[in-house]
Amino acid sequence: MSVKTTNQHMIKEIPLIKRFPFPFQKDSYRYSNNARPLESGKLADITPEYFEEIDKKRQILLNHHERAFQSLEHSIDGQWEVLEFLIDELAFIYPEYFSVIKNGHEWTFENKLLDEKHTFTFGDLSTLPYEPLDFIGRHVQEDLIFMGQRDGDLYMDAGQLCFPANWSIAFDIGMTYTEFHSPVPVFFDSGLAKKVLNFLLRIEAGKPWTRLNWTLTVEPILDTFPENFDEWGSKKEKVTSENAGQLVHLRVEDQRLFRMPRRNGILFSIHTHLISLDELKKNEDWLKRFFRVLKDLPDYMAEYKGFSLYKGEIIRYLEKSLTN
């Protein structure tokens, strides 16, 4: 099963270096609550990688469904709310790509990029091929996490996660915010996790937030699950200062947070972008800044982000690139 790609021409081709969300505002990076108001107010970005990434997502969901989609029974109402939110947004912002016709509870959603049309009854699970979040997630490049807000805490209630930076929705499902962040060094112990939780609990509808997170990945691999570590983890050993430009990719997660007012939950979206260091070189200011950030980065962060093994090789590669 693969998606139809004949409509690739409908998405405008813009070079990656011109549209990459570069994450560093200064020459040093530490954990902080770096969320800022999301001016555009929208969740979904459609990039030229749309067809390739949707195809990849659907393959993962077909072959390893439990790895990439998890939900608790009480999340179904929240999932319908997410589906409604996204369908309304897609049809409104991208009328050339999506449309919806609502006839009472009978909805027809059309994805014109993929030439797909679905008719279903809003609120009736038996009319959809998958759970609502699992259904709508197959039409956007973003990973989608729904957190329930209950009794002053946030719970991982449902999520479709195909492109994780080495974390597992199958492991985290049902946990509280504090529980699923406990592995993050310093962030968790310093009290910052609690501060951020307090911030999240008070996000209001109509006022979404965004932040960029980053790590490094060897080869352009989006699906870096802990569950398939054997497939991508060993690649780190291949990195040398000679090949780092092609192999090492800066991985940036454009994360967005929305209050879903019906169930009072939080929708967390992650759009993952990858760029090779050779490609990043096309913007020399970015490459210089990345070099300074890396030199300044404490070991515990390189360790947690999983590149301490080849950090020295990248720095040598960058030194060479910047003096040439």
Partner 1 sequence: MMARTLEVIVEQITHETAAIKSFKLVSADRSPLPRFSGGSHITTYLQTETGFIERHYSLTSDPDNTGYYRIAVRRNEDSNGGSIYWHDHVKEGDKISISYPKNYFPLSFQAKRHLFFAAGIGITPFLSMAKELKKKKAPFEIHYAAPSKELCAFYRHLSTFFSEETHFYFSKENKKMSTKLMENQPIGTHVYFCGPEAMIKGFADAAKVIGYSEKSIHFELFTPPKSGPMQPFRVKLNKSNKVIEVPEGKSLLDTLLQLHIDAPYSCKIGGCGSCQLHVLKGEIDHRDFFLTEMEKKESNVILTCVSRAKSGSLVLDL
Q: Which of 58, 211, 292, 316 is catalytic?
A: 211
Smallest separation (angstroms) from partner 1 to the CB of 210: 12
Smallest separation (angstroms) from partner 1 to the CB of 53: 29
* Bridge partners (DSSP) listed for residue 250: 216, 275
Q: Toward partner 1, which CB reaches closer, 33 or 166?
A: 33
Smallest separation (angstroms) from partner 1 to the CB of 259: 8
Q: H/E/C letters for each residue in the chain?
A: CCCCCCCHHHCCCCCHHHHCCCCCCCCCCCCCCCCEECCCCCCCCCCCCHHHHHHHHHHHHHHCHHHHEEECHHHHHHHHHHHHHHHHHHHHHCCCCEEEEEECCEEEEEECCCCEEEEEECCCHHHCCCCHHHHHHHHCCCEEEEEEEECCEEEEEEEECCCCECCCHHHHCCCEHHHHHCCCCCCCCCCHHHHHHHHHHCCCCCCCEEEEEEEEEECCCCCECHHHHHHHHHHHHHCCCCCHHHHEEEEEEEEEEEEECCCCEEEEEEEEEEEEHHHHCCCHHHHHHHHHHHHHCCHHHHHHHCCCCCHHHHHHHHHHHHHC
Cα–Cα distance between 20 and 145 in angstroms, integer? Answer: 23
Smallest separation (angstroms) from partner 1 to the CB of 67: 28
Query: Is residue 256 annotated as part of the catalytic site, yes or no?
Result: no
Q: Toward partner 1, which CB reaches closer, 203 or 309?
A: 203
Q: Toward partner 1, which CB reaches closer, 9 or 26?
A: 26
Q: Toward partner 1, which CB reaches closer, 17 or 203?
A: 203
Smallest separation (angstroms) from partner 1 to the CB of 258: 11
Q: Toward partner 1, which CB reaches closer, 192 or 309?
A: 192
* Bridge partners (DSSP) listed for residue 296: none
Q: Toward partner 1, which CB reaches closer, 99 or 166?
A: 99
Q: At what angle do helices 311-323 and 284-296 cross, to 10 degrees?
A: 140
* Bridge partners (DSSP) listed for residue 262: none
- Residue numbers at the binding site for partner 1 (CB under 8 A): 37, 39, 41, 81, 148-152, 198, 201-202, 204-207, 259, 261-264
Smallest separation (angstroms) from partner 1 to the CB of 65: 27
> Which positions are catalytic?
211
